[in-house]
Amino acid sequence: MSKSLIITSIANDKHPVLNSFAVECKKRNLDFIVIGDTKSPADFKIDGCDFWSVDRQLTLPFELAKITPTKHYSRKNIGYLIAIQNGAVEITETDDDNIPREEFWAEKQREVKSYGFENAGWVNVYHYFTKNKIWPRGFPLEELQNKQIDLSTLKFDTVNCPVQQGLADENPDVDAVYRLTYPLPLNFEIKTRLALGKNAWSPFNSQNTHWFKEAFALLYLPSYCSFRMTDIWRSYVAQRIAWECGWGILYHEPTVWQERNEHNLMKDFEDEIPGYSNNFRICKELQELQLKKGKENINDNLITCYQKLIDINVIGKDEMTLLKAWINDISKLS
């Protein structure tokens, strides 16, 4: 029974955040897995960190490790498989520009008291954590002006949430449109917990996200799409399949703050155009799918969802080869 923390990074072994994570994970007996890429230094070594260069990744018995494109965030999928092979029952993922608070390390519970959203359509979850105008990366721009539900009208009850998204302070995960038009930094000042269930949508990212074992198959990040959309479109697929399992997706108060790595905002904007153009449509198409009920059908439902995204030309057709390799690899580890 183990827990793993996973990051993908091309930073060197002097990186202060990676070193800090290594110290904290060693203290707590957590597996700390860092997935490198072609730009990672060959001599990377941090005590308490299990670093995987591309060459080392290719020694793994996973079909996915051999066919996942390099220079893409989706190589994080290999880290998930390593953690599962190591016996992980919980996986936390973050990035190398997120700095954890003490609460980040707190024990997580699968069943959480929270406000429950069902049949709510698009929910701007950031709206409930601050009085400022803000929305999460991946939220459809055409939904921004719609009125949000008053929390006092919702039930506050225990919800089974095997996928849990924590927010980030200072430089929260917002899109390039927001960064180009609104001031940052911003701290979320309201503490609350929201669980989105059936027919309720909001994107979640891979920057401060906790997964319990029964949802591990939903970790899969697509490769044949924009880097800026891979975790967002994964979140839509995960939400849609979670409905068939009776699960909620939890959104909770910040447990990290971000000192964002350098970005070219106009390049981010360009990379996010597929999202601005398709996020609403993707979820409409996913919502209309006839999926199979029960967690035993997650793999079949993954194929159905990604085939739909291929059919509507938002993800490349080569994605299906990778997805089937993921399903094959993860099934052998179950």
Bridge partners, 193 (sequence order): 252
For the four alpha carbons of 106, 98, 122 and 301, in that order, the dihedral sign comes to negative
Reported as a single tens digit per residue, the pLDDT across 208-257 is 999 999 999 999 999 999 999 999 999 999 999 999 999 999 999 999 99
Reported as a single tens digit per residue, the pLDDT across 105-163 is 999 999 999 999 999 999 999 999 999 999 999 999 999 999 999 999 999 999 999 99
pLDDT at 1 over 70: no
pLDDT at 2: 92
Secondary structure of residue 95 in the 3-state scheme: coil
For the four alpha carbons of 211, 254, 150 and 183, in that order, the dihedral sign comes to negative
Write down the residue that tokens 């971000």 correspond to. 258
pLDDT at 69: 96
pLDDT at 221: 98
Reported as a single tens digit per residue, the pLDDT across 299-333 is 999 999 999 999 999 999 999 999 999 999 999 99
Say if CB 49 and CB 24 are below 8 A apart. no
Pair of tokens at residue 298: 């997650």
Distance of CA 7 to the CA centre of its chain: 12
Query: What domains, with CATH codes, occur in the chain?
Result: 1-96 (3.40.50), 110-333 (no CATH)
Which phi-psi region, left, alpha or beta, contains residue 288 (left: φ > 0; alpha: ψ -120 to 50)? alpha
- Report the alpha-carbon distance of residue 139 to residue 128 in Å, rounded: 15
pLDDT at 91 over 90: yes
**Average pLDDT, integer, range 77-93:** 98
pLDDT at 327: 98
**Pairing mode, strands 31-35 and 2-8:** parallel
Say if CB 80 and CB 221 are below 8 A apart. no
**High-pLDDT (> 90) share of the chain, %:** 98
- Report the alpha-carbon distance of residue 34 to residue 57 in Å, rounded: 11
Secondary structure of residue 7 in the 3-state scheme: strand
